[in-house]
Amino acid sequence: MIAYIVRRLLFLIPTLFAGVLLVFGIMHLAPGDPVLLLAGPEADPRIYDELRQQWGLDKPVYIQCLMYLGNLVRGDLGTSLVTGRPVIADIGAYLPATVELTIFALFLSVVVGVLLGVVSAVRPNTLLDHATRTVSLLGVATPVFWLGLLLIILFHLRLSWLPGGGRIGVNISPPRSITGSYLIDSLVTGNWAALGSSALHILMPGFVLAFAQIARVARITRASMLGIVGLDYVKAAKAKGLKESKVVSRYILRNAWIPILTMVGEVAGTLLGGAVVTEVVFSWPGMGRYAVDSIMALDYKAIVAFAIISTALYAFINLIVDVMYVWVDPRISYS
C-alpha cells in the first residue's frame, strides 16, 4: 500500500514537469508581451530592455524554461511580475482560502448528493425522486458564476440574509492561523464570533460551487444503488426481516460506493476549476482570483504556478480516493 502511494506520488513529478513545458511553450509562442503591458507603450526603450533582462525574458525560450524547471526543483516558483513578491509566498497566502472553499463544497456535494441519491433509489418514481432528477438535469446545465450572482441578488441585496462576499466580516478579526481554514481554526480556538461570521460567509459560495456536483453525485448514487437493489443477497436480507434502514445502509450502499467514489475524484477536479469563477463572484481571497488577476497582467509565472498547484491538489485528492477504494471494498488491493 505504501509502495503504491509512493509510486503514485513519484509519477506526479514527470507529469507536472511536462505540464510546465506545455504551458511555458504556448505562453512563449503567444504574441502577448508582459513587459510592454507593465512598462506601457511609451516607455523608454532602455527601461524596457532592462526590465526584460531583469526577468530573464531576453534569453531563448528553452533556456528560460530550463531555468524555471531548475528553480522549481528547489521550490522557487519565481517572482510575480505584478506583486513583486515570490509567487510561492503569494500562493501560500491565497491557497488556504481555496482549499477551505473546495473541501467545504466537496463535503457538501458528497453528503447531500449521496443522501438525495439514496432516497430516490429507495423510493423510485416518487415526487422526491422526480425532483432530484430534475434538479440534477438543471444542475449540470447551470453556470456556476450565474447562479452565484442570482443568489447574491436574492439573499444579499434583496433579503440581506447572507453576506455577499469575502471570507469573514470586515469588523471581525480572523482566527489565529493553525490550519489556515477559518472554520476549523476559529472552532479550535473557541473564537465563536469568527466561527459564526466565517460560516455565514462560506455558505453561499460553498453551495453555489457544490450545486452541480450535488446533482452529479446524486445521479450516480441512484444509478449505482438501483443496480444492486434487485440482487439476490438484498432480497435475502429483506426476507430475513431486517429493517429497511439496515438493508439500505449495510447491504446496498456499501456495495454501491465504488462508482460514487470514482465520481468524487472527478468532482474534485471540477470543483477546483469552478472555484476560480466562484472566487471571482464572491470576492473570495483565494488562489483562483489571484490567477485571474495574473492572467490580465500576462504574469506567466503566477499562472504556471497556479496550474501546477491545482494539478497537484487534484492528484492528491484522487490518490485519497484510490486509497479509499481499499477501505470501502476489501477485495481491492494494490500490492
The yes or no reply on residue 140 touching another protein (CB under 8 A) is yes
Residue with cell 527601461: 47
Min. distance of Cβ 17 from another protein in angstroms?
A: 9
Residue 164 in grid coordinates: 455577499
Please check whether residue 280 is in contact with residue 292, taking contact to mean a CB–CB distance below 8 angstroms: yes
Compute the chain's Rg from CA coordinates.
24
The yes or no reply on residue 283 touching another protein (CB under 8 A) is no
The yes or no reply on residue 105 touching another protein (CB under 8 A) is no
Q: H or E element: which one contains 142? A: none
CB-nearer residue toward another protein: 23 or 324? 23
Instruction: Select from 204, 217, 213 the least CA-distant residue to 119.
Output: 217
Site string for another protein, 20-49 (x = CB under 8 A): --xx--xx--xxx-----------------
CB-nearer residue toward another protein: 189 or 270? 270
Binding another protein by CB under 8 A: which of 51, 263, 277, 321? 277
Residue 237 in grid coordinates: 436480507
Please check whether residue 286 is in contact with residue 105, taking contact to mean a CB–CB distance below 8 angstroms: no
CB-nearer residue toward another protein: 18 or 67? 18
- Crossing angle of helices 87-122 and 287-296, in 10° steps, is 120
Bridge partners for 79 per DSSP: 86
The yes or no reply on residue 272 touching another protein (CB under 8 A) is yes
Separation between Cα atoms, residue 115 and residue 248, nearest integer Å: 12
The yes or no reply on residue 72 touching another protein (CB under 8 A) is no
Instruction: Write out the residues near another protein by the rule CB under 8 A.
Output: 12, 15-16, 18-19, 22-23, 26-27, 30-32, 137-138, 140-147, 149-150, 152-153, 157, 219, 222-223, 226, 269-270, 272-274, 276-277, 280-281, 291-292, 294-296, 298, 300, 303-304, 306-307, 310-311, 314-315
